[in-house]
Structure 1
Amino acid sequence: MMQGTMGIEIKNLSVGLPETMKYGEGKEMETGIRKKPVEKVFLSKERFDGDDVADLKHHGGPDRAVCIYPYEHYARWEKEFGKPLPTSAFGENVSVTNMLEDKVYIGNIYRLGEAVIQVTQGRVPCSTIDRYHDMTPLLKVMVKTGFTGYMCRVLEEGYVSTNSTINLIEQHPQKISVLYTNKVYFHEPQNIEGIQRILAVRELADEWRDKFEIRLHNLLAKFPSE
């Protein structure tokens, strides 16, 4: 697989449609987390061809058309939980090296194969991850560390393949990292300054903007002097 900016390398490209997954003691759920590797696939404004989500309320949509996960975290989780992880273990479409959450900024624009994508928000992991891998409390540790991966919108459609490169086209000038937004979103609900800094990024996903605006409104009502 070829490399892009600063040694960025696509380690895996995957898509998948929702299917029934068994977990626990005879329980079942519909989920799109079990994605399968593909060699080449078209990326539209909505999603990759052959890719979809089961929970439309919490997943999918134009602001979350592409899910990316840093490949470096795989080794950490496998060591911490003593269990190997499958390909696309976190339901991501693209696993990459050298695009960690602390170095990727909301609003960054990348060329991914023929397509152009823009980072919009951190990924909000859900309990499906624990159920899929039977690795509780993986979900809690992902949230605690902020190593959740992130979502992107599609600015230009096009084909992506396993030998495509990822190149940074434009770094967002405000430099609000995915890790910082995760920190404020998950762990600092009363950080007014942090919320204001994040909301100043116009490219933030609409859903996160709505949530941060509601949070800020409530905080300013509670602490009017801030």
Structure 2
Amino acid sequence: MGAFVESVNTGRVRPVPWGSLKRSAIDKRATDARVRVGPYGLDGDEIADLEHHGGLDKAVYAYAAEDLEAWSVEIGRELRAGEFGENLTTRGVDVTGARLGERWRIGTTVLEVCSVRIPCRVFAGFVDQERWVRRFTERGVPGAYLRVIESGELGTGDAVEVTDVPEHRVTVGVMFRALTTERALLPSLLEAPAVAEEARLKAERYVAAAR
């Protein structure tokens, strides 16, 4: 079987003991229903921290089931779909190797890879692992944020069809390293027209400061 969505996950805002807001919707749960997807994400999926999550460039978060399984081995317990706060748990998709601007047709939607997940205190608290932010960063498999190019519906079992692949080589993995451990890679983000606006501005500031 080719690439497909193994699970569609949504969450509601709930009180949490971590972070400054003390509330989060990171606890995503699988749904068997087909879900409507609009410019700002999945119907029924709430966002607590609008400063750092959500918006057009972070409308949908995808994480590979294969990467969840690798983490399960390291952590020593099974990680369920949605446990990393992802909306789409994919199977057969090289999420880390996806290029910025790559487009995926899923159901009647078209989604575009444009950003990456940066680990935070809420994520660390939810996973409940020591040195989690550092470990997640060192592993370098952050998952991808997707913007919605065409609204529609999607559901568990839908194929993930890659319809457009840009010619540049700026991948999700490269972007993550540029924003975390290898700032010298920041200029490369400017090679990807579809890169999220926040990251593009960081790259432009880096280039300007280096002149």
TM-score, reference length from structure 1: 0.87
1:224 aligned partner: none
Mapped pair 1:170 → 2:164: yes
1:8 aligned partner: 3
Runs of 4+ aligned residues of structure 1 deviating over 6 Å after TM superposition are none
Taking the TM superposition and a 5 Å limit, the aligned residue runs for 1:54-93 are 54-93=48-87
User: How many angstroms apart in 2 are the aligned matches of 1:142 and 1:100?
Assistant: 17
Q: CA RMSD, aligned part only?
A: 1.9
Identity of aligned pairs, percent?
A: 25
Taking the TM superposition and a 5 Å limit, the aligned residue runs for 1:76-155 are 76-155=70-149
SS at match of 1:136: coil
Mapped pair 1:19 → 2:10: no
* Contact 1:14–1:88 under 8 Å retained in 2: yes
1:212 aligned partner: 203
SS at match of 2:16: strand
Cα 1:28–1:63 shift into 2, 3 Å = closer
Deviations 1:54-93 (A, max 9, x none): 1111110011100000111122212212122233111000
Shift of 1:215: 2.0
Q: Which runs of 5+ in 2 are unaligned?
A: none
Please tell me the residue identity of whatever aligns with 2:205.
Answer: I
Shift of 1:187: 1.1
User: How many angstroms apart in 1 are the aligned matches of 2:88 and 2:49?
Assistant: 20
User: How many angstroms apart in 1 are the aligned matches of 2:66 and 2:87?
Assistant: 16
* Contact 1:52–1:60 under 8 Å retained in 2: no
Q: Which runs of 5+ in 1 are unaligned?
A: 221-226
Shift of 1:117: 0.4
User: How many angstroms apart in 2 are the aligned matches of 1:99 and 1:152?
Assistant: 14
SS at match of 1:187: coil
2:189 aligned partner: 198
